[in-house]
Structure 1
Amino acid sequence: MLLTGAVILIFLTLSAAIFRRFNVPMIILALAVGIFFGSDVTGIIYFDDALLTRRLADIALVFVLFAGGYSIKRADLKPVLAPTMMLATLGVLITMIVTALVFHLVSGWSFTQSLLVATVISSTDAAAVFSILRNRSLQLRPSSITEIESAANDPMAIIATTLIIQIVAGGEIEAGRVALSFVWQLLGGVGIGLGVGWAGLLLFRKIKEVETGYYYLLLIGLILASYGAADLVGASGMLSAFFAGFLMGNSKLPLKSSLSSFTATLSFVANAGLFILLGLLMFPRSMGAVWSQGLLLFLILSFVARPVAVFFCTLGMKLPFGEKIFLSWSGIRGSVPIVLATYPAAAGLDPDHQIFNIIFLAVTLSILVQGTTIGKLADLLKLSEREKPKNKQKMELVTVHDTKYELVELFIDGDLYKGESTVASLVLPADATITMISRKDKIIAPRGNTMLHPGDILTILVDEGRITEVTNHVLSKFEKQ
């Protein structure tokens, strides 16, 4: 079994190297590798445990969402909070109702069955969205809305799925209790996540003089605690993990650069493992009986329900038409709907796994079609951005001790400045020094007679209170174009 797992991971890595030039998202490759090694293709691994998949998917999603929150800056969240929360709540409801109505009318299924299918697939997926969008250089607002929405809309979908299952099964529903549960999932998830994040900051600042590995262990413990604590009291563990990461990512931490890299690595490995697992769970031969319903569900969701939800939820908001089109197409489905598709089977409402197979096929189409075309759509709508070094950005000074110094990268933009200067001509304060110059493919150790040119990237060690003063002084030695 270990050898098989090793072969799968090596096969995925080699596939990524081969398909790199085509910009194929990692999750699509992982899904394809899982299908290839699964029961219906090579038959090397037989795997059909949907409940185990659900448990493992939850664990993987925790790491993906924490990393997503960790990488989002506070300044980026505020301007997109209104459209994000509208899409994560009302948007899910609209998507569910529109999908159910159209699916019922076209497929001939009963409305309750159609509603159950629509509810299960009503939320976008954080693992898929983060994996695909993080590989693109996109404008901040549309990418932030899509990413944060995908993390925040799980509670609505989970509650709605549970509610519809109870209705279909003939159980009694208390509207007040459902409303309170939804509010608690949202607010409790956010609050507990921030609480765990705050406790994590205290712990990181208290422990010093230990090996770096212990920081990584502590981080893993905090990530799992953010989900576990929320889940224990019935709040949203997904939201809790996201906001714990958000708080810690926007705070000063010892070894933050190393922790950031470790968090991104955890997310990547979790994503790869999750979609390999989902690929193993897929039985392509069984999809033949439901291909028409799966295709119909994907088309309704992508071209009718999602656009209606986006345009309705953003009424009165100053979002350009192009961004609304992008948001409509970026509602990628993934592991969460597949996990939710196990709920009807567990409740005895899907004995032949027809609903599960339809959802799986629609999700696979969403990943394959939307995942591979979202970048081209962003280019067409002019929402892609050319990667260019920022004029000034902080780097992480790796030390476990508190310090007032920062490492700053200063880019002398050749489109804005011309001329040249020597290092010796700079009058820097005693608490500032240029430690390195990056010029094209070369690294230069600066001396007094070293020439500085437009296009250079300077690494400067400087007191955090004098960053602006020092960077402005360096740039003043060049003429503006």
Structure 2
Amino acid sequence: MASAEGLGLTVLVLAVVVLLAVLSNRVSERLRIPAPLLFLVAAAAASDVLPVLNQRVPVSLVEQVVTVALVVVLFDGGMGIGWRRFRGSVVPIVSLGVVGTFLTAGVLTLVAHGLCGLGWRTSLVLGAALSPTDPAVVFSVLGRREITGRAGTVLEGESGANDPVGIALMLALLGASGSIGRQAGQVVGTFAVQMAVGTAVGVVGGFALLRFMQRVSLPAAGLHPVRALAGAMAVYGVATVAHGSGFLAVLVAGILIGDEGMPYRLEIRQVSGSLASLAEIVVFVALGLTVGLRALGQGWAWLIGLVLAVLLALVVRPLTVGPLLLPVRMRTGERVFIAWAGLKGAVPILLGAFAITAGVPDARRIYEVIFVVVAFSVLVQGSTVAWAAGRLGVPMRTTPPTPWALGVRLPQEPEGAGLCTVEPGSPADGATLEDLVLNGDTWVSAALRDGQLLPMAPGTVVRAGDDILVLTRPKDSQAEGQAAGD
């Protein structure tokens, strides 16, 4: 009986935490404080009030939880980017994700050693841990607003790319030994293997998972998102066992799958997106439970973290990101916004946990410094992301909730159907539905404005921001029609 009551209490606590996580965005909008920060500070305060929480949540468990959460976040982020968007911005994404990560880690190492007086080993580990950014934090602080245009693609792509790079760099550093020259060679070799194997497994695994989802039907709709996430976990596992970057493999697989047609595509994206948001909250709760607020005063962790956070946001990231974005065709405001919106989140937490489990000297202080930097980044930078986008002219759009759906289910993938958004100044902006019908092989099936259906009359005028469902006759049918006409 007592065990049943204990289990009931555990289930109740977990249910309350999940409900709070689900409602966090609403609370964040009212308080104008990013939701991840609320959970981070609340968990840290709880670990001070109830020390038993800190004792029962070891850092090794945090490492495992964050790893699973990050696989979900990267897979969902990769699908959100898709191959078409990635291909259009591959140069800035790769340069920021690879070169930018190394530059950030190097500059932070010099700052931590020269300004904060930390040892070279500690400074290297801290620099590597704080080099990656986090796309999920940016999305959570934006709420129902979405960054559009190339800036949004570059920011998402960079955040997804520098996570595997930062993790591979940290693992290489932790595994290096011997003389300085030998350690440098080991770091380069380990990093190259991680990237090469991760990319190869991601490409092969992504295409294999895509074919599996397209060709093998399942008895229930709810099983399709489960299959997709299980496939992502399998890709991560194969790459990791093969001594590659499992996180890079998952990101690559998500990018390759993102634009492709598959059964229950919408449901897969909805489930993965929801789990990614929940996973981000879980990561911040786990970090808070393992770092008490009282511990930050020991070893001047709070001061070191605050110094690094301010310099990282105002000096280090602009100096490393700015030059890499100069060759990119982009407005100055967009470049400044990308430099400011490089928030820290789940990956630095995971890398700090790596340092502790690997037995790195001074690892506990590194972990506490990461806590301060992440908290500062989410609070200061996260709270001003939307304001900065407006001031710098970065295009954003509000994505209101659409809880009601009107549609039909088809047994086969519809060919020639596509949902398009009318862009400002495009030929479709101000045109009638009759004007949009270019020939007998193209027609408009539905049009929506502000979530409402428009009358399907020839004289209906569409405006920028309207969503239009366009149908075109498949190419083989067009060819048959032309042959019959000849």
Q: When the two structures are superposed, what TM-score results if normalisation uses the length of structure 2? A: 0.81
Pick one of 392, 406, 413 that aligns with 1:381.
392
Partner of 1:472: none
AA partner of residue 96 (structure 1) = A
1:411–1:458: 8 Å Cα contact kept in structure 2?
A: yes
Following superposition, the deviation at residue 97 of structure 1 comes to 2.1
Shift of 1:33: 4.3
Question: Structure 1 residues 91 and 367, CA, compared in 2 at 3 Å: closer, same or farther?
Answer: same
SS class of match (1:153): helix
CA shift in 2, pair 1:196/1:131, >3 Å: farther
**Number of equivalences:** 456
> Distance in 1 between the 2:451 and 2:88 partners?
37
Matched residue, 1:3: 12
Contact 1:125 / 1:332 at 8 angstroms: preserved in 2?
Answer: yes
CA distance in 2 between counterparts of 1:420 and 1:344 reads 61
Quick one: which of 344, 357, 360 aligns to 1:333?
344
User: Which AA in structure 1 matches 2:37?
Assistant: I
When residues 365 and 205 of structure 1 are mapped into structure 2, their CA distance, relative to the original with a 3 A threshold, is same
CA shift at 1:443, angstroms? 4.9
Residue 401 of structure 1, aligned match among 412, 422, 445? 412
Question: Counterpart of 1:238?
Answer: 247
Q: How does 1:116-131 map to 2 (within 5 A)?
A: 116-131=125-140
Equivalent residue letter for 2:348: P
Residue aligning to 1:160: 169
Show the 5 A alignment for 1:199-210. Answer: 199-208=208-217, 210=219
Q: Is contact 1:410–1:457 with CA below 8 Å preserved after alignment? A: yes
Aligned to 1:62: 71
Question: Residue 254 of structure 1 contacts residue 399 of structure 1 at CA under 8 Å; is this kept in 2?
Answer: no
Query: Which has a greater percent of helix?
Result: 2
Q: Please say which of residues 315-324 and 76-85 is displaced more in the overlay.
A: 315-324
Among all aligned residue pairs of Structure 1 and Structure 2, give the percentage whose two residues are the same amino acid.
Answer: 26
Q: Which one of 69, 87, 90 corresponds to residue 78 of structure 1?
A: 87
Rounded to whole Å, the distance in 1 between the matches of 2:438 and 2:180 is 77
Is 238-247 or 151-160 further displaced after alignment?
A: 151-160
Structure 1 227/359 Cα, relative in aligned 2: closer, same or farther at 3 Å?
same
How has the CA–CA distance of structure 1 residues 368 and 420 changed in structure 2, closer, same or farther, with 3 Å as cutoff? closer
> Which residues of structure 1 form unaligned runs of 5+?
390-394, 470-481
- The correspondence of residues 46-445 of structure 1 with structure 2, limited to 5 A, is 46=54, 47-132=56-141, 135-165=144-174, 173=182, 175-208=184-217, 210-289=219-298, 290-350=301-361, 353-386=364-397, 398-404=409-415, 406=417, 408=419, 434=445, 438=448, 443=453
CA shift, 1:198, in A, is 0.9
Q: Bigger CA drift: 268-277 or 250-259?
A: 268-277
What is the DSSP-based 3-state SS (H/G/I as helix, E as strand, rest coil) of the residue aligned with 1:73? helix
Change (3 A) 1:341 1:245: same
**Following the alignment from structure 1 to structure 2, what is the Cα–Cα distance between the partners of residues 396 and 295?**
52
Structure 2 counterpart of 1:39, which letter?
S
- Supply the distance in 2 between the matched residues of 1:316 and 1:428 (Cα, whole angstroms): 41
Q: Secondary structure at the match of 1:275?
A: helix
Is contact 2:169-2:191 (8 Å) kept? no
- TM-score (norm. length: structure 1): 0.81
Q: Supply the RMSD in Å over aligned alpha carbons.
A: 3.7
Q: 1:349 to 1:181 in 2, by over 3 A?
A: closer
For each residue in 1:34-93, what CA deviation from the matched residue of structure 2 results, as whole angstroms up to 9, or x when unmatched? 335x31146684444111101110101111111111111333212322222222222222
Question: What corresponds to 2:4 in structure 1?
Answer: none
SS of the aligned residue for 2:145 comes to: coil
* Contact 2:134 2:345 survives alignment (8 Å): yes
Distance 1:120 1:417 in 2: 47
Q: Cα distance, 1:253 vs. partner?
A: 0.8
AA at the equivalent of 2:188: A
For residues 333 and 186 of structure 1, what CA distance do their matches in structure 2 show? 22
1:39 and 2:50 aligned: no
Amino acid at match of 1:250: D
User: Is there any run of 5+ residues in structure 2 with no aligned partner, and where?
Assistant: 1-9, 401-405, 479-486
Q: Distance in 2 between matches of 1:298 and 1:461?
A: 48
d(CA) in 2 for partners of 1:298, 1:401: 52
- Tell whether the 8 Å contact from 1:16 to 1:29 is kept in structure 2 after alignment: no
Structure 2 CA distance for aligned equivalents of residues 62 and 421 of structure 1: 44
Change (3 A) 1:141 1:111: same
Q: Distance in 1 between matches of 2:243 and 2:363?
A: 31
Which deviates further from its counterpart, 312-321 or 373-382? 312-321
Q: Counterpart amino acid of 1:322?
A: G
**Cα 1:161–1:73 shift into 2, 3 Å:** closer
Amino acid at match of 1:293: I
Describe the shift of the 1:160–1:74 C-alpha distance in structure 2 as closer, same or farther (beyond 3 A).
Answer: closer
C-alpha offsets along residues 289-336 of structure 1, whole Å, 9 cap, x if unaligned?
A: 321111112122222221221123335444433233222212211121
1:20 aligns to what? 29
For residues 97-127 of structure 1, give each alpha carbon's deviation from its aligned partner in whole angstroms, at most 9, with x where no partner exists. 2222223222223333323322222222344
